[in-house]
Amino acid sequence: MPLDKEGRCIMLSAPRAGYGKTHLLNQVRQKLLLTHDFVLIFPDQDCRVDASLVLLDVLRSMTERAQNASGLTALDRIARTLLAMSLEPLVESGEVPSDNRESALRAMREQPVETFDFHDASAITAHWILDHFDVLGPRLIIELAQRLDLPLKETAMWVEALFDFATTPLFDPVRVGRLLEAVTHQPNVAAQDSLHVLMRLMSSMRRVVLVADELEGLSTNEEGAMRFASFAVSYTHLTLPTKRI
C-alpha cells in the first residue's frame, strides 16, 4: 500500500485462545520488517486504550536501542530523516548556502542517517545544523508542516523534541525520559493531536502498524471492549472501517 494512502483497521479473530493468532502476526511482521514498523499497544489494568497510552507505547517501541554497538534507535533514524526532508528544499532553493549543492542534496536524499549523525565529528552538515538550529529551526518546522500538511503547533513540538533527542549522546540515561517529558506534558497539545502528528511523521517514511494482541480478556469485559472499540473507531486518521479476516 503506498505511503500516501490511508491504512485500515483489521480484526483477527479465532474460536479460542492458542489458535495461532500471535504466531501469524509474527510471521507477517517478519515478512514486512524492511518496510513496516510494528508497534504493540497495551490496554491498562482497566482495559483502557486511549491516545495518551498509545503515544507512550509508540515512543517506547521506537526508542529501543539497536541490537548492536551503535546505540541507534528507530527514532534516531526517523529524526535524522525528517531533518533531511525539511532541510532539502532550503538547500535546493539556495536559502541555505552550500559549497557543493548537488553533493549535499544527494547526501540528504540517499544517506540521511549518516549525514545527520550529530555524534560524528566528521558529519559537517549535522554540526552546521546544530550550531544554527536556533535560527534555522522555525524554517525547518514550516517546511515539514507544509510538505506533510500538518498543523504547525504540533509539528513544532515534535521537531524540537526530536532534535533534542537526536543531538543528546546516544547512551545518555536521561535521553528517553527527557523526550517523554517533552511530549507528554504539553498543556496546549492534546494527546490525540500529538499522536496523530507523530504517526504522520513516521508514516512519511515507512508504514506504521499498531498491533493490539492478547485481548482475550475483553470478551468478558464489555466496558473494556467498548473503550477499545471507541478508540479504534474514533481515531479516524489511523483507521478505516474494520475488516474481519
Confidence (pLDDT) at 12: 76
Q: Considering Cα of 14, then 244, then 59, then 4, what sign does the dihedral take?
A: positive
- Residue 56 has a pLDDT of 92
- For residue 126, with 0-12 CB atoms within 10 Å meaning exposed, 13-18 middle and 19 or more buried, which class applies? buried
- Taking the C-alpha atoms of 38, 109, 6 and 154 in order, what is their torsion angle to the nearest 10 degrees? 80
Q: How many CB atoms lie within 10 A of CB 165?
A: 23
Residues of the chain with pLDDT under 50: 236-245
Q: What residues have CB less than 8 Å from 214, skipping those under 6 apart?
A: 22
Pick from 132, 95, 162: which is nearest to 124 by CA? 132
* pLDDT at residue 43 in the model: 76
- The separation between the first and the last C-alpha atoms of the chain, rounded to the nearest angstrom, is 18
- Nearest one of 42, 137, 16, 1 to 82, comparing CA atoms: 137
Asked if 72 contacts 116 with a C-beta cutoff of 8 angstroms, the reply is no
Buried b (16+ CB within 10 A) or exposed e, 45-62: eebebbbebbbbbbbebb
What is the Cα–Cα distance from 30 to 34, expressed in whole angstroms? 8
- 243 touches 55 (CB < 8 A): no
Is 211 in a helix, a strand, or coil?
Answer: strand
Q: What is the dihedral of CA 52, 55, 56, 57, to 10 degrees?
A: 120
At 2 the pLDDT is: 55
Name 231's Cβ contacts closer than 8 Å, sequence gap at least 6: 49, 50, 51, 54
